[in-house]
Amino acid sequence: MSFTEQSPAHTLAYVQDEQHGISVPVTSISLEDSAPGRANPPLQVYRTAGPGSDPVRGLPPLRESWIAERADCESYQGRSRELLDDGRSAQRRGAASAEWQGPQRTPLRSQPGRTVTQMHYARNGVVTAEMRFVALRENCSVELVRSELAAGRAIIPSNINHPESEPMIIGKAFLVKINANIGNSAITSSIADEVDKLQWATLWGADTVMDLSTGDDIHTTREWIIRNAPVPIGTVPIYQALEKVNGEAHKLTWEIFRDTVIEQCEQGVDYMTIHAGVLLRYVPLTANRVTGIVSRGGAIMAGWCLAHHQENFLYTHFDELCEIFAQYDVAFSLGDGLRPGSTADANDAAQFAELDTLAELTKRAWRYDVQVMVEGPGHVPFHLVRENIERQQELCDGAPFYTLGPLVTDIAPGYDHITSAIGATEIARYGTAMLCYVTPKEHLGLPNKDDVKTGVITYKIAAHAADLAKGHPGARDRDDALSKARFEFRWRDQFSLSLDPATAEAFHDETLPAEPAKTAHFCSMCGPKFCSMRISQDIRDSYGTATEQEEIAGGMAAKSAEFLASGAKVYLPDLVVPQPS
């Protein structure tokens, strides 16, 4: 099994748009026959793992020719790299700890007077390769993609300096997406660990990854991550900017921040969280909260505002940010710095005041054709979740909502992937476009690799449950395939169709480890004699012998009518479940 596949039954395959020369990778899951002569076609599912990469060389630049063909960019001598970009310990050492040695590309930006955002193209009726890729990936029309982008109701995060990324779309008309956070901190972890977590997160289904590093080697870690990322990468640039001023929030300036943003634009960051909605006048609204401000970026900006008695520089310089983002096609992720950190603080004045400002900023960014999504909470009791998405959609004219959970109770540290998946399903059902995962370590520590996997799979569950609830076309195919496999005791197919094949198989084997049990027509819950699935199959057999589900459905209707017409009389001599020999 390669590192890019979850199971030996999974292979990389492609869906082709031959006319436009576009190939979208999918994971093909091979299935066993239901019975001799009754084959099950492979199921193709959405794939985030990419083709796989050697970490030291990175991924091939899939989008490079698409970007070049548009002929609206220029390469230029980028901002010069500074040691401080990698933090204070790199300064002491005189170098980052593991310099990127793979392909070095000269940064691109838009030619003067041109705008290179997917929103800009969409609004001008231009269909890009990225849009075609996404339409094929989502199994929808290209026009749906273009029109949703043009209206601001969806984004394709796609920095022209991250040509390795496979385009994906975030918007409520499309499949619900999930983000995984990785990144080192002052306390722990190395560059290799973070690249490993990136690949691990996308293997299990992360649609985007945010690098939230706040420790050493921030610049270099990010370089390694982006060069190996088949998914869009997001960051919170204020974290790095703060490192550059020795962690002292009041020393931050617009100039330092702007320089950090350009540094990250040139590296290829696809979207950036910008806490421009934390206005000076909103800060006192948090003072009598149970948990104050829990967003790191929000707290930094609140601290800065208070220290300087000035309005948030991200707000006052927002138009300049739009101009920069438009040059690279970086998307805004408008940060909710005042999100509630406890259920007691949910949907309060501070939170909703900031949302009003985020709505204003959304429309300002759109004037520059810059793509925007809006971040949301947080900790919200279940009955207050829906209001969050409905208010955001109304105020922000349908701009994609991107939420952290929300967690529906505060009392389960260690299980906050679960408390938050409950809220995430509810909020996604009503239109949230992307869910930021929460791991079991939330509130307690930094996620390790197991935590990343648990977080990603838990959020795949929430996103998929919302897709089903929204009636998204094709979403139920995998459920139906797995349920059919379950009913037919195709154990191996149950495993390979599941979100975590190895875990499903390991759990099965704990009780029934022998290989024959993989083909047994019973399971450990009931044992061989006492199997409800087996009895159901007998019932089905007694009502019809059609071999295909569709034929059974048709045939059974007739059979049932006949049965009822005959006075509901049946006779079966023996329903004992045969024991496997």
Which residue in 285, 356, 360, 363 binds a copy of itself (CB under 8 A)? 285
Least separation in angstroms between CB 346 and a copy of itself: 10
Distance (Å, rounded) from C-alpha 315 to C-alpha 338? Answer: 15
Least separation in angstroms between CB 475 and a copy of itself: 9
Nearer of residues 227 and 478 to a copy of itself, judged by Cβ: 478
Nearer of residues 81 and 540 to a copy of itself, judged by Cβ: 540
Residues 328-347 that bind a copy of itself (CB under 8 A): 341-344
Least separation in angstroms between CB 48 and a copy of itself: 16
Nearer of residues 39 and 539 to a copy of itself, judged by Cβ: 539
For residues 458 and 437, the answer to whether their CB atoms sit within 8 Å is: yes
Distance (Å, rounded) from C-alpha 523 to C-alpha 541? Answer: 20
Taking each helix axis from N to C end, the angle separating 218-227 and 191-204, rounded to the nearest 10 degrees, works out to 40
297 is in an annotated binding site: yes
For residues 272 and 262, the answer to whether their CB atoms sit within 8 Å is: no
Which residue in 476, 518, 520, 521 binds a copy of itself (CB under 8 A)? 476
Distances (CA, A) of 327 to 121, 257, 258, 320: 13, 17, 14, 11
396 is in an annotated binding site: no
Residues 531-550 that bind a copy of itself (CB under 8 A): 531-533, 535-540, 542-544, 549
Distance (Å, rounded) from C-alpha 459 to C-alpha 450? Answer: 14
305 is in an annotated binding site: no
Least separation in angstroms between CB 547 and a copy of itself: 13
Which residue in 250, 255, 394, 397 binds a copy of itself (CB under 8 A)? 250
**Choices 54-62, 90-98, 322-330, 469-477; region in contact with a copy of itself by CB under 8 A:** 469-477
Distance (Å, rounded) from C-alpha 547 to C-alpha 109? Answer: 60
The DSSP 8-state label assigned to residue 344 in this structure reads: G
Which residue in 42, 51, 61, 303 binds a copy of itself (CB under 8 A)? 303
Cβ neighbors of 159 (< 8 A, separation 6 or more) are 165, 232, 265, 268, 269, 270, 328, 329, 330
**Choices 192-200, 221-229, 303-311, 318-326; region in contact with a copy of itself by CB under 8 A:** 303-311
Any contact of residue 514 with a copy of itself (CB under 8 A)? no
Q: Which amino acid is at 36?
A: P
**Choices 151-159, 253-261, 351-359, 478-486; region in contact with a copy of itself by CB under 8 A:** 478-486
For residues 433 and 402, the answer to whether their CB atoms sit within 8 Å is: yes
Least separation in angstroms between CB 399 and a copy of itself: 24
Nearer of residues 210 and 330 to a copy of itself, judged by Cβ: 210
Any contact of residue 413 with a copy of itself (CB under 8 A)? yes
Largest distance between two CA atoms of the chain? 90
Q: Which amino acid is at 437?
A: Y
Residues 182-241 that bind a copy of itself (CB under 8 A): 185-188, 214-215, 239
338 is in an annotated binding site: yes
Distance (Å, rounded) from C-alpha 449 to C-alpha 452? Answer: 5
Cβ neighbors of 43 (< 8 A, separation 6 or more) are 28, 29, 31, 477, 478, 481, 497
Which residue in 110, 327, 425, 432 binds a copy of itself (CB under 8 A)? 425
Distance (Å, rounded) from C-alpha 532 to C-alpha 538? Answer: 10
436 is in an annotated binding site: no
Distance (Å, rounded) from C-alpha 362 to C-alpha 69? Answer: 30
**Phi–psi pair at 35, nearest 5 degrees:** -160, 165
Least separation in angstroms between CB 409 and a copy of itself: 5
Q: Which amino acid is at 247?
A: G
Which residue in 134, 283, 373, 389 binds a copy of itself (CB under 8 A)? 283
Query: Please, how many CA atoms are within 13 Å of residue 440, restricted to the half-sphere of its CB?
Result: 11
Q: C-alpha angle with apex 273: 178 to 67, nearest 5 degrees?
A: 75
**Choices 64-72, 256-264, 318-326, 556-564; region in contact with a copy of itself by CB under 8 A:** 556-564
Q: Which two tokens stand for residue 530?
A: 């006492």
Residues 448-467 that bind a copy of itself (CB under 8 A): 448, 457-458, 460-462, 464-466
**Choices 225-233, 266-274, 325-333, 527-535; region in contact with a copy of itself by CB under 8 A:** 527-535
383 is in an annotated binding site: no
* Binding residues with a copy of itself: total (CB under 8 A): 141
Residues 374-403 that bind a copy of itself (CB under 8 A): 379, 381-383
Any contact of residue 521 with a copy of itself (CB under 8 A)? no
Distance (Å, rounded) from C-alpha 482 to C-alpha 493? Answer: 7
Which has the closest alpha carbon to 156: 413, 379, 433?
Answer: 433
Sequence-ordered alpha helix ranges (H) in 14-62: none
Residues 15-74 that bind a copy of itself (CB under 8 A): none
Query: Which positions make up the binding site?
Result: 181, 210, 239, 275, 295-297, 336-339, 375, 379, 402, 443, 523, 526, 531
**Annotated binding residues for Zn(2+), as ranges?**
379, 443
